Amino acid sequence: WDLSLPTTAPGGAAPRPAQPLTDLDFHSGARISELNQLVQELSKRTARDPGVRAAPELVVLKDFVFSLLGVVQQLDGRLPGANEYLLLSGGACQGTVDVDPGVLGRSAPGADYDADYTLLVPVLQAGGCPVTLDMRRCPPGHAWLPLAPFGPEACHRWADCCRHHGDEAYLAPGLVSAWFSQALGAVADRARGAPRRGGPAVERVAGRGGLVTLLLSQGAVRALYDVVPVVAFQGWPAAAREWLGRSHFWDGKLSEEDVAGGFYLLPGSGPASGLAWRLSFSRSELHLKRAVPPPLLRAHRAAMAALGGAWGGRVGPYHLWSLVLWACDRLPARYLGREENAAHCLLGLLDDMAAGLGAGAAPHYFLPGCDRLVGGAEPGLARAVAAVRGDPVGHLRRAVERVKMAAKLGRGPEVNPSPSALGGEWGLVVRAGGAGSQDSWVLSPVYSGGFGSI
């Protein structure tokens, strides 16, 4: 094939040499250079504003959320008096936790809030308890939680949130979620009805399944908190030990203690979830995110923005994040770390998602042999992914326009969580109650302090 231009051009000027068409996406016809530009523009428009990184309002609102939880503890007595929260940058809609898509809200950044977080609140701490998780009668990636190992006091305290199977009492996630939603919602509603002058304001409270969403404001700054009741464990579950023994992208970058220091059980989306709690590795992912190449993270955010609110059924935004981790294990870091490959990373994530949905498979990153879809179909999401993959440039352009519009609808400059505002790029651990001293993790500081009051 001869793709060269004529040797002479009208007017006698020498023509420009032909450019090789090697930067095209075969499937969509999009130019890779244009996709890279759009990924960069989207990243810049959603980047943290240096002028508001240290917004003190964000710290005030964080402390206010902890004070609400402190009142829940004082009124009910069920939450541990000395607790350890996990605060993650980004709400559940950003894929921070593996929750059912049906519990995700529809609030929009910029238009409804300026900063969003996910807060994991342990209702039980399993450290030191010889707990054996029962995974035999559960969907993949889930477990039943017997309450007896936590002692007679815990059995009495949680008696109305238990279900019996034979002689064993198991903690029911749907009942725990219902209690937590009612308890935190009641305290937040009371604070909303009697706001303090110049203090934080509760704009909205919503409980959906295992998630309680708080929309708060302090002055012109608005923050969204997705609060999740969890059971916290130290160490590593037996079902994930095989994964720990394999080679991974974080080898030599993170210690096994960082990655396998603990895990959680998340509740399902209501009483219909039965006795099955979902295993969560958010504490590990907080560390793993530090080892993910930045261009791949930008591609992930671009894919999230392009897909918008297409999630449904059993596959939520957490699935896209798990594909990022799989890609890190599969591909060389040198490739994923090159800025010019951000577009290829974006297209690859969409291809991986389309392939998984087509095969009815969603392998769990941490649990070998665990398929989170187990042959189920998600036709609606599959069509949405196919649409974005067929016209990635068009969908990214519309995503950029949505970000511009959201900024115009907002009440002030864009505010995002930042290391200088809340102490961590991706998240932080907060110890509340007790008399602990200042401590630190690899990614972020740990705040120590007693429960406050409203």
Q: What distances in angstroms separate CA 274 from CA 103, 136, 139, 376, one per listed residue?
A: 17, 14, 11, 20
The amino acid sitting at 230 is: V
Give CA–CA dist 110/446, Å, rounded. 29
In the numeric block, the tokens 């709690």 are attached to 277
Cα 109 to Cα 114: distance, rounded to the nearest angstrom = 6
| pLDDT class of 22 with cuts at 50, 70, 90 | low
Distance CA 131, CA 148 (A): 9
Helices (H) and strands (E) in the chain, counts: 14, 13
The single-letter code of the amino acid at 200 is P
Q: Record the pTM.
A: 0.86
pLDDT surpassing 80 at residue 47: no
Model pLDDT for residues 65-122, shown as the tens digit of each residue: 999 999 999 998 999 988 899 999 999 999 999 988 888 888 877 788 888 999 999 9
User: Quick one: how far is CA 430 from the chain centroid?
Assistant: 17
Comparing CA positions, the residue from 199, 201, 205, 200 lying closest to residue 226 is: 205
pLDDT digits (tens, 9 = 90+) for 366-400: 999 999 887 677 888 899 999 999 999 999 999 99
Which residues have a Cβ under 8 Å from the Cβ of 447 and sit 6 or more positions away? 423, 428, 430, 431, 432
CATH class of 32-47+55-409+427-449: alpha beta
Kindly report, residue by residue over 215-254, the tens digit of the pLDDT.
999 998 999 999 999 999 999 999 999 999 999 999 999 9
**pLDDT of 158 strictly over 60:** yes
Tell me if 92 sits within 8 A of 99, measured CB to CB: yes
- As a whole number, mean pLDDT of residues 332-361 equals 95
What distance in Å separates the CA atoms of residue 353 and residue 82, rounded to the nearest whole number? 41
Q: Give the residue extent of every domain in the chain.
A: 32-47+55-409+427-449
Within 10 Å of residue 56's Cβ, how many Cβ atoms? 11
Q: Which pair of structure tokens corresponds to residue 354?
A: 């389309």
Closest by Cα among 338, 67, 121 to 231: 121
The least confident of 143-152, 195-204, 404-413, 439-448 is 439-448
- 372 three-class SS: coil
3-state SS, residue 375: coil
Residues in contact with 146: Cβ distance below 8 Å, sequence separation at least 6, in sequence order: 131, 132, 134, 168, 169, 170, 171
| Contact by Cβ (8 Å): 46, 403 | yes
How far is the CA of 365 from the CAs of 199, 285, 372, 427, in angstroms?
Answer: 42, 11, 10, 20
Residue 210's Cβ-count burial label (10 Å; 0-12, 13-18, 19+) is buried
Beta strands in 138-272 (DSSP E): 142-143, 162-165, 168-171, 201-208, 211-218, 221-234, 262-266
N-term to C-term CA, the chain: 75
